Structure 1
Amino acid sequence: MTESGPSMTAMPVLSDPKARLQHSRVARLIVAILVMVPLVVSAIYMWVLWDPTKTVKDMPVAIVNQDTGFTDDSGTTEAGAKVTDNLVKSGALNFQRVDKANAYEGLRSGRYYFVLDIPADFSENLKTITNPGTAASLITVTFNDNNTLKASQIGGSAMEKIYQSVLKGIAATTVGGLVDGVQKLGDGLRSAADGSGQLGDGTATLSNGVSNDLAPGVKKAREGAAKLDEGAGTLAAGLVSLQQGTDKLGDGATQVADGIERLTTMAQVNNLQAAIKQAQALSPNNPQLAKVAELIDGLARLKAGSREIATQLTSPTAQYRSGVNKLVDGSGRLQTGAAQLSAGMVAIDEGVGKVADGAQRLNDGANRLNQGLSDGAKKAPDFGDEQARATLAQLMATPVTKETKHLARAQFSGPGGAPTILLIASMLVPIMILLTFRGHRFVTDDKTPRSLRATGRRAVAVSAISLGVMVLVGVLAFITRDPMPEPASLTKVIVITAAATLMNAALVSVLYTLFGYVVGTLSSLAWLMLQLFSYGGIWMVETVPAPFQWLHWISPLTYVRNGYIAAFNGVPGFWSSLVTLIVIGLAGLALIFGAVKFQRTRYERIVGHEPTALPAT
């Protein structure tokens, strides 16, 4: 490149090593790298050490509660709503309740630094944690390092503390669910105890009533006893009639005996017997005398027999009469016994009825006992085998798990670091390229300011070289990421990178034009460092000191970041960012040419003549 100035001859060949160093672009590039890299690394490291713990509460974070709640015998549980309320009230972060669509759209557009997502089955998993196959409730935390690098690190650290608070907050729900299960088991066992008490009462009743198996036989025995009682009464009445008849018969027999005795007195019989004997002596073979003798003997026997009959029928000591009297007495006792038997069988029958009632209550109690035990067994937790118990123990220890997702992870050479690399390079590369050019001070007594044409050529050269280097940086930024970034629009990434590079080349050139080689370099690097801390791509804007938050809105890198967010995430804002960069770049060019024109006008006024072209590089 050439410069305009006083009449000068061609520059002589320099043998001085210092002069050669100033004229060697490679040497100046090495010097630029040696100066800039440690400075940039040190500045970035200083910003990395910034502690935002006192201001992290201002980070806007979306919380999505999709929990539908869970209803069981103990009532309705809404653990997701409880966790959400507790997080919002805690103020640990600037949690904002939003729906899922707005949350993830805000994460892509940079409105939220990350999203905390509570699933629909959150409460159900907590309340059924003792059931086989139940998994821990899962909270998903999603970051997007395309927008801000430190958000995932600071947010991840904050979420660890918040996660512990969540575990404490839902402990009552999980342990309460287990306690509810044990309580239900206790209720079932108490019901079983009540049933067993009723079973005992029924057994006592059964023992008093003998056995319900006797019911049919006792009924028949009762009927038989009643018939026996009736027969005994009939028999007693008959025997009383027999006794009365015997009395009458005895009276008649006595009268007969008395009559026979009167008829046949002993003297008469004796006389008749003596007369028959005399007659038989006179006529021993007379058959009539024999018959008369037999008749007289028969009368004697009749007299004795009739008296014996009368005696048997009337004398209490006689065998017959005493037997009749005993029969009458026995039939009376039989009647009394039969009546008592009948009454006893009635009592037995009634007792058997009570036994039947007791047996029914026993059956009912046994059924309730069985049902209570069955219900209690169903409600009791089934901890399964050893592996299932180990799994349950793990679930009880960590009933809620946290899964971290990244739309574009930056750590470990992840794709999320590409936008930051491109953004920093878009300003750092023009500074390094300008450092490879020779320094030239405009306001001196022995140097002529550059012409507008020379300034334009330098601007074109710096821009072209910077764009070329940015192509290489861009390729390296993509191929060194694992996995490789997949922006929503690669074309927009290229366009915004080119616009950012040209804009930064213009702005850095302004500083070099105004302040010269050394001061321009230092002021450019200082400007880069200030923007890196305030533009929002490394540190969250809400967590930096107030002056840097104000600087955020006027920092050109802020709009470069917005353009990358739109290009990488596929959200609105690309065209507005691109127009802003173009306007800032054009404003930088205007400042450059305005400053050059001002310097040349001032110089011409001082030297008092039109300058001629000077050789320059």
Structure 2
Amino acid sequence: MKGLQLIKRDLMAMWKHPHGRIALIFLIIVPLIYAGFFLAGYWNPYGKLDNLPVAVVNQDKGSMMDGERIEAGKEFVKELKGNQELDFHFISEEKADKGLKNGDYYMVLTIPKDFSKNISTLMDDQPIPAKLISKTNPGENFVASQISSTAVEKINEKISKSITKTYADGVFTKFSELATGLENAGNGSNEVYQGINDANHAMAKLGDGYSELNQGMNQLTAGSNKLLHGKEALSSGAANLEKGSLSLSQGMGKLSAGLDTIKTGGEQVTIGIKQWSSGNEKLLQEQTKANESVKLLQDQMNAYSKSHPEAGEEPEFQKLQETANGLAKATEQLQAGQTQLAQGAQKAAAGQESIESGLGEFSDKLDEAAAGAKDLAAGTVTFNEGFEAWDNGYTSLNNAINKAASGTKPLKEGTEKINDGLEQLSDGAHTLSSKLKDAADKTSGISNSDSLTDMFSEPVVLEQISLSNVPNYGSGIAPYFLSLAFYVGGIMASNILPLGRRKERIVNGTHHLINKLGLVYTIGIIQAIIVDSIVLSVFNLEVASIPLFVFSSIVVSLTFMTFILMLVTVFGIVGKFLAVTFLVFQLATCGGTFPMELGTPLLSKIGQWMPMAHSLKSLQEVISLGNWHELQTQLLFLVLYLVAAGIIAWVASHMQHRETPVQHVPS
């Protein structure tokens, strides 16, 4: 075929020319130069951190903690001297700052003066964290500054863990004392629980007492109200009593004066009675004599009547005799009456004497009664005045009783609330006692050990699980650098190989495209095989499958070659500049150095559909990930790019070679 013959002719022409031969050899090894130098420079940079100079300045003055001297700064320096992660230089602050400025050191790590002092405040109420001061100069080398900072952070974590372990050891040694204290606290809380129960029972009795008090206060209120209603009558009676006692006192005074008069009259009566009794005795004697005379007269009259019967018949004599008889009877009666009167007079005299004696005693008693009535009158006045005061006081007392009666209700309610609170407090005290005892039992079982203090100082350990194995930085960055190398190889091919339109019209567009594709594919395959051989044998790049790795490299190389050929075919020399522009754009957006999510969103969206994004992903799959389904998908995208670019180049080539060739290519 004419296209294949043109491939052979172009290659032989370049090989026969001295400069062409050099250019062809350079073209073949361009991807190797890019990939080799980049991978060699970045193959394992983290494995040589011990060559990264870092200055350490120790200004720590030490401190006292629990009566012991601590030198945390010196301990830190000792730890760093035994650490090989960085090239530590222990120098003065002046030399360190000067070296950082001049680029002799990528970081200055300063241990401040109060480092130990701040560490000793860990158990204080307001602990002050100890600080390490790292000073970098990113302008000198940003990556070195970042790496140094990361390494120092890891060392700081180790030191912090060591310090925490020291404190943990001291803490755990105190746990036995804590266990004893918790046990004592549990016993004390049990006693509190018992005391609260006793208080609860007492409050229950107090509540019953308040109930009885409430009933008593209700009765007292009722009685007080009744007494309040009766005090008006009592007040009126007290006023009347005052008036009566005053009248009594006055009457007793008059009675005493009248008694004196009675007493005087009684004495006169006594004298008269005595005189009357004495005269009555004499009268009785005369009466006796008169009676005797009357009887004598009667006897004489009877005797005369007997001796002088005629006289007895005479009316005058009979009247005289009747008068004598009547007189005799009257004198007898008079004598009998006079006798009784004499006896009565004697009795009256005796009674008058008794009366006079009684009046004397009565007079004395009446005097006493008068004095008592006077005192009674004065007392009733005082009583009435006191009763008025009592009235006022009782009114206040009644009001106070009513308030006290109404106050017993909230007092009872408060007592009930206190009782409920005591029950809750009792439950809480019981729970506290049991929990303290449980804590004491659990705490007493804690024993100090290295594993326990390690756990305390580092309670969380990060366990990293990797879905894929990337042994070093070079292996991780290899897909990016290989994609870059193959693309640069395509750009160099566009500049060295004769890919432009021919001046002589000897072929059509299809023959021309086959000629150019044959040239770039030959170079692309050779480039891929050489680069893969070197990275597999010299750099010992670990891949999931060597055949698939070589196949993927060839597909990537051919895709880039076709893509760049399409640009050159369509745009001519401008296409070469466009190829370089696409290279820069893809390097910034394919996610080879940083994830796409960290870039500009719009550019990242566009970049993920560019050929290099798929080449990067396909090489990642075949080197580290081993997801064959994803590898097939990415290779399919690359083949689609290859086919699309080939079709565009074919169309452009046909448009450029419209005339039918009239000359034959010599064999």
Scaled to the shorter chain, the TM-score interval is 0.3 to 0.5
* Structure showing greater Rg: 2
What TM-score do you get using the length of structure 1 for normalisation? 0.38
More helix by share: 2
Per the normalisation by structure 2, the TM-score is 0.36
